[in-house]
Structure 1
């Protein structure tokens, strides 16, 4: 959650902590739309591996993709030789380390693409706007546009925090099955950042259910005293992402919230459409 800063000083806090698969196509060579089928199939397999948790067997990939085992084996051999997949001692295949650099670069670009939409949020609400991703068990902030107020929120881009006490973290975890959320909380714990922080798993799961029903998340003095944050997920984002506005509790009141939430949701839809268009072939 952002810290409060004035225009003359900046207060940074220390860190605390797929696209839907395509349908396999028969035949070989180039596609009618200009695509190369082997590339389409290779990326489809990588996405299926990610959906399966990052490690799969060839038979699982064949069953989910509909491709014959010899075709999958040939594609996986190529991905292994390039470092994008690695074969485990148990003969299963796992996502490889070369994907990390690609993912980090893509995350930075995601923040760049989001900035005009965050600026739109600042213009409409007057408060600092942020974008964050769920990376492992933590939330990482990838973009921010600050408020023009002299008293405003500031979060360093790249800052990592535990998700349970942040608006963006709650919005992101509301999209995750409850058993996975409980497992995450078991790994990270639920330290109290303030006396308002939710520190019991059952209470947090109930809060996520409320968020699913309402369509937005609230951090009400839970990460930092005197700060309120409103957040929503970016629908159909290529990676789980949320946007938020943050401001002093005296400005981001419950009455102001009723006006801000529809703006947040509308900008999230616009950003979703923009991200979808960047992935379309020209």
Structure 2
């Protein structure tokens, strides 16, 4: 039977990486489900992945039996509750890896440093190191906010397509946290253009009066992430911004290297252990 070009390509990629093809395909399907909003049909997965329907059906049955996917009454498939525990553990690890970099930010800028992720349509803070100043900003780890009123929200969405941003804003609404909050899609899209142009995002009393935040995305991060500093507007001035932004960008690059090397290290370790324990054959 002739092999499809997609299957041949997958097999070649798997052979070169030393991975297990079915595992790679299963994780790819989970990521495609997440990109599609968490619920898809088999035909959609087949169209986006290039895999034949029987292969996808077999993989989805396995994921359902493990609890990572559930089948809905309408026969579509949704991400399962067992993924929540994995996500929570991964978020804690991200925070652990990020904290030394955030501590450096605090040391060099004097302001509270944060790391945040986009989780669904919301921003979730996964790590923080507080400033040493008596007047400082606190954001509880695990706190969730809407993207349109935060610097990290702008940094995280700056790379998204305008249609995706509009769709997200329609789902969340754009309530005003202060009288400085951006409350129109056009205004927010213009703010994202400034982020792309300048390389950093600003929240100027848009989430909380008197608080100014500067944020940058973490480049090439395994998951879309951003870091920020926040402090009183009287300290995070325009002059301070000129000094702080290059530090933010440098720390973001260093954090990216840490996250990517952690992932590569885990993969290498897993591969080595599998090779050592696997029977010849």
Name the TM-score, length of structure 1 as normaliser: 0.83
Partners of 1:164 and 1:272 in 2: CA distance: 24
Shift of 1:138: 1.9
* Within-5 A mapping of 1:215-234: 215-234=199-218
**Cα RMSD after superposing both structures:** 2.2
Partner residue in 2 for 1:62: 46
Q: What is the TM-score when the length of structure 2 is the normalising length? A: 0.83
The answer for the alignment partner of 2:118 in structure 1 is 134
Larger displacement relative to structure 2 (192-201 or 207-216): 192-201
Match of 2:70, SS?
strand
Cα distance in structure 2, aligned partners of 1:174 and 1:63:
28
- Of residues 127-136 and 175-184 in structure 1, the stretch that sits farther from structure 2 once superposed is 175-184
Q: Which residue of 1 aligns with 2:10?
A: 25
In the TM superposition, what whole-angstrom CA distance separates every residue of 1:218-267 from its partner, at most 9, and x where no partner exists?
Answer: 01122222211100111222322110001111211101111111111111
What is the CA-CA distance between 1:183 and the residue it aligns to? Answer: 2.8
Cα distance in 2 for partners of 1:24, 1:108 equals 35
Q: Contact 2:11 / 2:21 at 8 angstroms: preserved in 1?
A: no
1:103 aligns with 2:70: no
Gaps of 5+ in 2: 1-7, 269-281
Distance 2:175 2:53 in 1: 47
- Where 2:11 maps in the other structure, the secondary structure is coil
1:71-93 deviation digits (Å, cap 9, x = unpaired): 32222211111111122334332
Tell me whether 1:160 sits opposite 2:157 in the alignment. Answer: no
2:160 aligned with 1:176: yes
Note if contact 1:129-1:245 (Cα within 8 Å) is conserved in structure 2. yes
Q: Which structure features the higher share of helix residues?
A: 2
Correspondence for 2:245:
261
Aligned residues: 258
SS at match of 2:136: strand
Distance 2:209 2:41 in 1: 49
CA distance in 1, matches of 2:9, 2:49: 6
Match of 1:114 among 88, 98, 101: 98
- Judged with a 3 Å threshold, the aligned counterparts in structure 2 of structure 1 residues 265 and 216 are, in CA distance, closer, same or farther, namely same
Is the 1:24–1:67 contact (alpha carbons within 8 Å) kept by the matching residues of 2?
no
More deviation, 81-90/123-132: 81-90
Instruction: Work out whether residues 171 and 231 of structure 1, in 8 Å CA contact, stay in contact via their aligned partners in 2.
Output: yes
How far residue 24 of structure 1 moved from its aligned partner, in angstroms, is: 5.6
Q: Is the 8 A contact 1:131 1:144 kept in 2?
A: yes
Q: Does 1:53 align with 2:37?
A: yes
Contact 1:24–1:66, Cα closer than 8 Å, also in 2: no
Unpaired stretches in structure 1, ≥5 consecutive residues: 1-22
Judged with a 3 Å threshold, the aligned counterparts in structure 2 of structure 1 residues 197 and 136 are, in CA distance, closer, same or farther, namely same
In structure 2, what is the Cα distance between the partners aligned to 1:228 and 1:154?
A: 13
1:36 is displaced (CA, Å) by 2.6
Paired position in structure 1 for 2:277: none
